[in-house]
Amino acid sequence: MTGPAPTPEPPYWAVIFTARRTDQPDDSYEQTAERMFALAAKQPGCLGYDTAGSDELSITVSYWESEAAIAAWKADIEHLDAQRQGRERWYECFELRVARVERAYAFTRPAS
């Protein structure tokens, strides 16, 4: 992962997922998270994602063409199982926000 994710001209959609992990070590978390990133990236309408953080606080923002694409990903059967495990085992708390990106500005350092 390098990031930031390249995205088209707005409007498009963002799902902002901020989460704090429980204190219980659990190897299955990392594995499942990687699997979910790969699976999401292949979903129709997914424009990319960025993720950063630690056990204390992680932020993942995924970008989508439409609300319908977000709804389809939310209902993916493997993703549903990961969501269940997240609530049961991995997360102390999280907040999920669905937002419509209205404007975007990109900066890339000029080659020197």
CA-CA distance, 70 to 98, in Å (whole number)?
Answer: 9
> From residue 27 to residue 66, what is the string marking binding to a second copy with x (rule CB under 8 A)?
-----------------------xxxxx-xxxx-x-----
* Amino acid identity for residue 49 in this structure: Y
Q: In the bound complex, what is the minimum distance in angstroms from residue 3's beta carbon to a second copy?
A: 5
CA-CA distance, 70 to 12, in Å (whole number)?
Answer: 11
Backbone angles phi, psi at 18, to 5 degrees: -115, 135
Residue (35 or 100) nearer to a second copy, CB? 100
- The residue range among 29-37, 39-47, 84-92 that interacts with a second copy, by the rule CB under 8 A, is 84-92
Applying CB under 8 A, does 97 fall inside the site for a second copy?
yes
Helix (H) or strand (E) holding 30: helix 27-42
CA-CA distance, 38 to 108, in Å (whole number)?
Answer: 26
Which residues of this chain interact with a second copy, rule CB under 8 A? 1-5, 7, 10, 14, 16, 18-20, 22, 50-54, 56-59, 61, 87, 91-109
